[in-house]
Structure 1
Amino acid sequence: MVKTVIAALFGGSLMLSGVASGHELKVLQGFKNPESVVADKAGRVYVSEIGEFEKDGDGQITVIEPDGKRRVFAKGMNDPKGLAFVGQDLYVTDKNRILRVGVDGQWTVLVDQSAFPVPPAFLNDLEPDFDGKYLYVSDSGDIANQGGTSGAIYRVILSTVKVETIINHQQDARIKAPNGLWMDDTGEVLIYVDFASGVLYKLDLLNRHLIELAKGFGGGDGLALGADKKLYISDYINGKVFSLSIDDEVKLEKQGFQSAADIGVTADGKVLLIPDMKAGTVTWLELHE
């Protein structure tokens, strides 16, 4: 499968080698600190809106219908960030906990901060495994201080809601402020980008071996795989989106954002969805194969 092929071929440290330009299809405005986006198979796009930072209860998930109409899907959250679907349930990182949202928009706390081996500081991205048995979550730690010493990646066993440490700063100092996650379909490889260092890594889950793939992504934020077999990486600090192809080429795909946050793709993988937190927008970017 595509994921397996990409995970097998990404093997060395890469630098920017070209510039590309995707076609901007549309931009929707009026979101309040949009952090993450995810699309379902029906063409709906879900956006996590943090609202006012550190103000509990004003965060929400907004859904954009295929016809462009939007509505509040779930509300009353604190600072919702990463989004991921497992089956029909939508999972959300919400400051120091993980929420599960049903099809009716009603949510419950799946994992409270007390369930983590160490109290999380800044839960960020979410990524399920191919079979939907596990949910991987990044803790960016003290993100204002380059992650400090609290950066970590955890795995939630959904059947038991048990949280396991996959790797943390104490085990490998390169784990500074892990952010965007992307899982291959073998269940053996997890790719992540670090917000503090701007480095993209491949983590072998069997032996916890960490390999540098590429660097220069500034405030590395989101990861998404397109139908063109490219891995897309957003740079929050510099407002850019890059691509990494299976032939080891890194390209600048789009720039000019105020803060390109946790990106996603449509179900067919042909359109990249880019939330710009500071601008309050979501951009649809057509990808060229």
Structure 2
Amino acid sequence: MKTFSILSVIIGLSLCLIGCSRETETTSTRFPVDVGERPESITKGWDGNYFVTVMNGQIEGDGVVKVIKGNQVTVFASGLSEPKGIAFVAGHLVVSDLKQVVQIDSNGKTSVLAGPGDFPHPPSYLN
């Protein structure tokens, strides 16, 4: 009886995984988008637009967040140092760069959520 129960669970999970892993067709259009040098992360934000962190990395503070609206790419926020992670949380973009975590509003205004002095040890690299 115990073997039957375990076998039933294994078969059920296998069927679930097979059903969940099947690819579905989409009607979206794919096209190449040039967002710049060293793109890192992407998230979906306001109005279904995509936001991409672009590290650049030539000089301190030259990293940006770009927005992809249709097939147009523009700078949405700037002044970041090699921005890495990005998420859309509670109506704001949250971005980590080398030494800080910032919040970006829908107008592209950046404010610091956690700067270097807010960590117990100086950050060497946030991601």
Same fold (TM over 0.5): yes
Report 1 or 2 for greater relative contact order, CA contacts < 8 Å, sequence distance ≥ 6.
1
Matched, 1:51 2:50: no
Q: CA deviation at 1:30?
A: 4.7
Query: Is the 2:35–2:73 contact (alpha carbons within 8 Å) kept by the matching residues of 1?
Result: no
Q: Deviations over 1:121-147 (max 9, x none)?
A: 2111xxxxxxxxxxxxxxxxxxxxxxx
Q: Corresponding residue for 1:111? A: 114
Q: Structure 1: how far apart are the matches of 2:77 and 2:122?
A: 25
Q: Structure 2: how far apart are the matches of 1:123 and 1:28?
A: 27
Q: Corresponding residue for 1:37? A: 42
Q: CA deviation at 1:26?
A: 2.4
Give the aligned residue type for 2:37: K
Relative to its length, the structure with more helix (as a share) is 2
Q: CA deviation at 1:35?
A: 0.5
Consecutive unaligned residues of structure 2, counting only runs of 5 or more, are 1-12, 14-22
Q: Corresponding residue for 1:121? A: 124
Relative to its length, the structure with more strand (as a share) is 1
Per the normalisation by structure 1, the TM-score is 0.33
**RMSD of equivalent CA atoms:** 2.3
Q: Corresponding residue for 1:64? A: 68
Q: Structure 2: how far apart are the matches of 1:40 and 1:96?
A: 23
Per the normalisation by structure 2, the TM-score is 0.71
Q: CA deviation at 1:41?
A: 5.5
Q: CA deviation at 1:31?
A: 1.3
Q: Deviations over 1:183-238 (max 9, x none)?
A: xxxxxxxxxxxxxxxxxxxxxxxxxxxxxxxxxxxxxxxxxxxxxxxxxxxxxxxx
Q: Check 1:29–1:107 CA distance in 2 against 1; reply closer, same or farther (3 A cut).
A: same
The 3-state SS of whatever aligns with 1:35 is: strand
The 3-state SS of whatever aligns with 2:102 is: strand
Query: Is the 2:77–2:108 contact (alpha carbons within 8 Å) kept by the matching residues of 1?
Result: yes
Query: Is the 2:44–2:51 contact (alpha carbons within 8 Å) kept by the matching residues of 1?
Result: yes
Q: Corresponding residue for 1:88? A: 91
Provide the aligned length of Structure 1 versus Structure 2: 103
Q: Structure 2: how far apart are the matches of 1:29 and 1:102?
A: 24
Larger Rg: 2
Sequence identity (%): 32
